[in-house]
């Protein structure tokens, strides 16, 4: 390309936003623009009515993302309206927005994915909206040119779900590719039991919190107990429940969860990406998730080079002439040989 390419980064949660920013920092030759996650049609109307505050389309996720944009002075293009972009990056293909269909698209895995239950099967085989299955349906759009994933274990999992192997590049993912460095932090406490909660109720799943809190107390067995609430969780309700059943526990609604995990003696999670951090750091881990499976899926620990790997993917995609791209998402093909990244 003779002109400087324009690249749109579609963000979402604070984790996703930081990932996109790290990738953009590795593409100094491009004009980068950022937008919060967005949708079209009915989903957009529901988000504007404040009915999707528990999702990345609104609520705390939206506020934190906008604050991050402002704090880091990132150039904004709300909903990607200002430019005809040469390339789009997103951390979620649960929605493929109308104005990015048929464009060069790179999907970046954001973290751990939900288990594949009945809803996932209904979404996959009845072609229901992917967002109904949450992150379990990540990758099923096939609307991207390349899907950058965390590890060889995740590559196998996505292929099993139906993602085309030739579209997957194992790059590692930013924020989870140098976990050992988390041991050096400024969180002032040590040797406690940390509970990192998940917004199960907010996403329509069962969670009998009183029993869970009592289970956490049993695991702590007299050790200091800290709770770190998930950003999507109903904090008032969660705080009230903890005060009732574990009145001496400390509750955090903000702060760096990874640093808290690094300083903990033991970590309790439900279904959270941060479980990867606990497993990688060799913590005593109690979780709803299969720990043996987590070790198989653990993101590549490449000393923080995942963003550079993804940037290389972007450069190779951008080198391809736009006419080779087709608007029929099922006809999209990988545009380069990424096997050199596979190690």
pLDDT tens-digit profile of 134-166? 999 999 999 999 999 999 999 999 999 999 999
More confident residue, 272 or 332: 272
- Tell me the C-alpha to C-alpha distance, in Å, between residue 112 and each of 4, 174, 297: 34, 13, 9
Do 103 and 235 sit in the same domain of this protein? no
Residue 312 lies in a domain: yes
Number of structural domains found in the chain? 2
pLDDT tens-digit readout, 83-106: 999 999 999 999 999 999 989 999
Q: Which residues are CB-contacts of 210 (< 8 A; sequence separation ≥ 6)?
A: 241, 244, 245
Note the pLDDT of residue 325. Answer: 44
Q: Is residue 340 part of a domain?
A: no
Domain interval for residue 311? 6-177+301-334
User: Which pLDDT score, from 0 to 100, does residue 2 have?
Assistant: 63
Say how far residue 210 (Cα) sits from the centre of its chain: 28
pLDDT bracket for residue 129 (50, 70, 90): very high
Beta-bridge mates of residue 148 = 108, 169
Q: Please state, in angstroms and rounded to a whole number, the distance separating the CA atoms of residues 26 and 76.
A: 18
Q: What is the CATH number of the domain that holds 106?
A: 3.40.50.2000
256 and 225 in a common domain: yes
More confident position, 128 or 60: 128
Question: What pLDDT score was predicted for residue 203?
Answer: 79
Does residue 339 sit within a domain?
no
Per-residue pLDDT tens for 183-232?
Answer: 999 999 999 999 999 988 987 889 999 999 999 999 999 999 999 999 88
pLDDT digits (tens, 9 = 90+) for 270-328: 988 899 999 999 999 999 988 999 999 999 999 999 999 999 999 999 987 664 444 43
Same-domain status, 311 and 234: no
Q: Which of 10, 23, 111 is closest to 304 using CA atoms?
A: 23
Helix/strand/coil percentages in the chain, nearest 5? 40, 15, 45
- Within 13 A of 169's CA, how many CA atoms are on the CB side? 28
User: Comparing C-alpha atoms, which of 295, 12, 339, 20 is closest to residue 154?
Assistant: 295
Q: What integer pLDDT is reported at residue 223 of this predicted model?
A: 97
Q: Is residue 186 domain-shared with residue 133, that is, in the same domain? A: no
Dist. CA 316–CA 41, nearest whole Å? 33
Same domain, 146 and 286: no
Residue 267, beta-bridge partner list? 194, 285
Please state, in angstroms and rounded to a whole number, the distance separating the CA atoms of residues 210 and 217.
Answer: 11
Q: 100 to each of 38, 82, 88, how far by Cα in Å?
A: 11, 12, 7
DSSP output for 139-162: TTT--SSEEEES-HHHHHHHHHHT
Residues 157 and 69 in one domain: yes
Q: Are residues 161 and 89 part of one domain? A: yes
Q: Which residues pair with 147 in a beta bridge?
A: 107, 168
DSSP, collapsed to helix, strand or coil, labels residue 36 as coil
Q: Is residue 343 part of a domain?
A: no
91, 117: one domain: yes
Q: Is residue 260 part of a domain?
A: yes
The residues near 161 (Cβ < 8 Å, ≥ 6 apart) are: 116, 124, 139, 140
pLDDT reported for residue 321? 64
Q: Which of 323, 307, 303, 324 is nearest to 32 (CA)?
A: 307
1 part of a folded domain: no
The dihedral formed by the CA atoms of 205, 210, 212 and 213, expressed in degrees to the nearest 10: 140
- Higher-confidence residue: 78 or 340? 78
Q: What is the token pair recorded at 327? A: 């608007």
Q: Give 299's DSSP letter.
A: P
Asked if residue 234 has pLDDT above 60, the reply is yes
Beta bridge partners of 35: 10
Same domain, 78 and 164: yes
Q: Are 178 and 304 in contact (CB under 8 A)?
A: yes
* 110 and 149 co-located in one domain: yes
Looking at the structure, do residues 231 and 287 belong to the same domain, yes or no?
yes
- Residue 331: the pLDDT is 37
Residues 6+ apart with CB under 8 A from 252: 226, 227, 228, 229, 260
Locate tokens 């329509």: which residue?
204
User: In the block, which residue shows the tokens 């009183």?
Assistant: 210
Q: Give residue-wise pLDDT tens across range 3-35.
A: 899 999 999 999 999 999 999 999 999 999 999
Burial (CB < 10 A; 0-12, 13-18, 19+), residue 210, is exposed
Does 196 share its domain with 320?
no
pLDDT at res. 343? 40
Across the chain, mean pLDDT equals 91
- According to the model, what pLDDT value does residue 332 have? 41
- What's the confidence (pLDDT) of residue 198? 92
């Amino acid at each position: 390309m003779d002109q400087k390419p324009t690249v749109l980064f579609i963000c979402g949660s604070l984790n996703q936003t930081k990932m996109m920013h790290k990738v953009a920092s590795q593409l100094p030759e491009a004009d980068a623009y950022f937008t919060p996650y967005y949708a079209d049609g009915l989903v957009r109307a529901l988000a504007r009515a404040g009915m999707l505050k528990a999702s990345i389309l609104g609520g705390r996720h939206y506020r934190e993302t906008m604050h991050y944009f402002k704090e880091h002075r990132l150039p904004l293009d709300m909903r990607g309206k200002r430019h005809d972009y040469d390339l789009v990056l997103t951390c979620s293909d649960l929605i493929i927005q109308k104005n990015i269909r048929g464009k060069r698209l790179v999907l970046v895995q954001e973290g751990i994915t939900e288990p594949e239950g009945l809803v996932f099967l209904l979404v996959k085989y009845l072609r229901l909206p992917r967002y109904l299955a949450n992150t379990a349906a990540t990758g099923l759009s096939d609307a991207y040119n390349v899907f950058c994933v965390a590890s060889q274990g995740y590559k196998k999992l996505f292929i099993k779900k139906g993602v085309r192997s030739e579209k997957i590049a194992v790059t590692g993912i930013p924020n989870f590719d140098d976990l050992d460095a988390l041991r050096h932090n400024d969180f002032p406490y040590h040797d406690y039991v940390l509970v990192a909660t998940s917004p199960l109720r907010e996403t329509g799943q069962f969670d009998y919190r009183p029993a869970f809190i009592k289970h956490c107390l049993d695991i702590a067995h007299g050790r200091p107990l800290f709770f770190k609430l998930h950003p999507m969780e109903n904090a008032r309700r969660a705080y009230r429940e903890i005060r009732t059943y574990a009145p001496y526990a400390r509750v955090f609604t903000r702060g760096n969860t990874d640093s808290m995990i690094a300083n903990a003696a033991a970590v309790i999670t439900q279904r959270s990406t941060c479980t990867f951090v606990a497993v990688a750091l060799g913590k005593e881990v109690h979780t709803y998730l299969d720990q043996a499976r987590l070790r198989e899926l653990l993101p590549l620990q490449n000393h923080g080079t995942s963003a550079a790997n993804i940037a290389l993917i972007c450069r190779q995609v951008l080198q391809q002439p736009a006419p080779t791209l087709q608007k029929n998402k099922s006809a999209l093909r990988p545009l380069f040989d990424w096997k050199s990244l596979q190690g």
